[in-house]
Amino acid sequence: MKPRILVVDDEVRMQRIFEINLTPKYEVLTCGDGEEALGMVKARDITLMITDLKMPRMNGMTLLKEVRRIQPELPVIITTAYGTVEGAVQAMKEGAVDYILKPIKMDEMELLIEKTLSLCRLKDENRDLRQELKTIYGPKNIVGNHPAMQKVIQLIQQVAGTKATVLIQGESGTGKELVARAIHYESDRSSKPFVVINCAAIPSSLLESELFGHEKGAFTGAVKTKKGRLELADKGTLFLDEIGEMPKELQVKILRILEEQKFQRVGGTEDIEVDNRIIAASNKDLKQAMEADAFREDLYYRLNVITIPIPPLREKKEDIPLLVEHFFKKHRGVCKKKIAGVSERALQLLMDYPWPGNVRELENALLRGMVLCRSDFIEVEDFPEELIHQVKEEGMVVAGDREKLKQMKKITQQKIKEEMEKKFIVEALRKGEGNIQRSAAMVDMDRRQFQNLIKKYGISRKDFEKI
């Protein structure tokens, strides 16, 4: 589809010039005053507007302001005569993308249009990518039916809209980073950066400059001024991973950030202000670390405003079948062949294993299984040796887990049955054109029974009416 350009100018001659020059490439609409233009912006899907400033009835500036209000994303280019440049500058302040002086050179105009349109496309792409990030990292990707996981998801929703500091506690591989990202992408900071710093992975001598940045010449090797991650995360979220590993002298500085949102670069004397949302995570019990004097008490209480505890996988084993399904979908691309699922014996193995590496270990085991699998189903043999070994040796089959697995299966079967039933009723209603008596008769069902099922599944007209 050609971009649709609206040209607003009270001189009919100008409208004609635009039409003649731009028509091959764009769809050109023209009108002679602001009020009419506003109507067109509302009614038609305009890609770009070019407007003169001086016009009868509603002038260009008022038009621009009105357009900003109803369609803030619509790019507007101003055309103006010599002597009214101040007006054009004012218009740029009001959000016009650029201005061009009359008499207009059409080739310049076309360049400006192209530049503006490609900028818009970039912006659109950026927005799409961000939306994608949101779907990749949002809370919907956190799988878990266990009450503790439901609580985690609920907490994410509750804290996302606030600036409260959050502490996420959980063993390695339980999904701490996943939760931190979900908070960020669910918050109104989602269009700003999510910056991670792993306090355990960076030597403590470098940690300070990584966090706060440094001034040129602050230490040997500091040849340039460098921004730290705090500055990179300005207006966004800073994720302090493994905060339990942070040296105590840095802990004081983090406390200052939390209290005053201010810091100094290494070797700097000036206070730098930032607006960060801080999320911290730890796989060790920070309270214990505090009691052992390895973690500052004041920082502990400051971080602990809201704590999200994530249970280890061995304590939420009923989530294993769900996670298996989730990772199957997530990694579908890794193997060419179509895998139907995990065999019953293999699933039993997954239920029995204690998963010291938690969900990450499960994900890796499944990936391996998916790659090595030779039949329709992943078999016990496709999983890592140590997994099979440990389960065999320790005879880890806990009666409770077997019971849970059975129940999970029952629930799944029930769900499938219900889904099919609902589809069946919807289909019947569609064929019977919504008439209950007729639809029931068509599928040989008792009217009462049919009606009960409609109620049970909350089926309404929109479910079966063709759009």
Ligand X SMILES: Nc1ncnc2c1ncn2[C@@H]1O[C@H](COP(=O)(O)OP(=O)(O)OP(=O)(O)O)[C@@H](O)[C@H]1O
Query: Which residues in this chain contact ligand X in the complex, by CB under 6 A?
Result: 141-144, 170, 172-178, 283, 326, 359-360, 363
Write down the least CB distance from residue 177 to Mg ion, Å. Answer: 4
Which among 326, 305, 327, 315 has a CA at the least distance from the CA of 155?
305
Q: Residue 214: which of ligand X, Mg ion, none does it interact with, CB under 5 to 8 A by kind?
A: none
CB of 33 to ligand X, least distance (A): 56
Nearest residue (CB) to ligand X, 190 versus 283: 283
Instruction: Report the interhelical angle of 12-22 vs 106-137 (nearest 10°).
Output: 70
Residue nearest to ligand X (CB): 175
Binding footprint of Mg ion, residue count (CB under 5 A): 1
Q: Which is nearer to Mg ion, 362 or 428 (CB)?
A: 362
State the virtual CA torsion across 414, 418, 424, 428 in degrees, nearest 10: 150
Q: Which lies closer to ligand X via its Cβ, residue 146 or residue 430?
A: 146
Q: Which does 142 bind (CB under 5 to 8 A by kind): Mg ion, ligand X, none?
A: ligand X
Q: Which stretch binds Mg ion (CB under 5 A): 128-136, 139-147, 171-179, 348-356?
A: 171-179
Question: Nearest-CB residue to Mg ion?
Answer: 177
Task: Tell me the closest approach of the beta carbon of residue 67 to Mg ion, in angstroms.
Answer: 46
State the first-to-last Cα distance of the chain, in angstroms, to the nearest integer. 25
Collapsing DSSP to helix, strand or coil, 324 comes out as helix
Interaction between residue 360 and Mg ion (CB under 5 A): no
Shortest CB 170 distance to Mg ion, Å: 9
Please tell me whether residue 318 binds Mg ion under the rule CB under 5 A. no
Distances (CA, A) of 310 to 73, 95, 315: 41, 46, 10
| Residue 173 binds which entry of Mg ion, ligand X, none, CB below 5-8 Å type-dependent | ligand X
Of the pair 214, 316, the CB lying nearest ligand X is at 316
Site string for Mg ion, 121-160 (x = CB under 5 A): ----------------------------------------
CB of 450 to ligand X, least distance (A): 39
Query: Which CA distances in Å does 417 have to 336, 340, 410, 424, 436?
Result: 30, 19, 11, 11, 22
Cα four-point dihedral sign 243, 246, 251, 256? negative
Question: Rounded CA gap, 3 and 24, in Å?
Answer: 11
Whichever of 97 and 280 has its CB closer to ligand X, that residue is 280
Q: Which residues, 172 to 211, sit near Mg ion by CB under 5 A? A: 177
Which tokens in the block code for residue 388?
Answer: 């099979």
Angle value at C-alpha 157, between 152 and 160, nearest 5 degrees: 110
Nearest Cα to Cα of residue 380 among 359, 353, 403, 400:
353
User: How many helices (H) and strands (E) are present in the chain, helices listed first?
Assistant: 20, 16
The residue among 178 and 299 lying less far from ligand X, judged by its C-beta, is 178
CA 386 to chain centre: 36
Binding site for Mg ion (CB under 5 A): 177
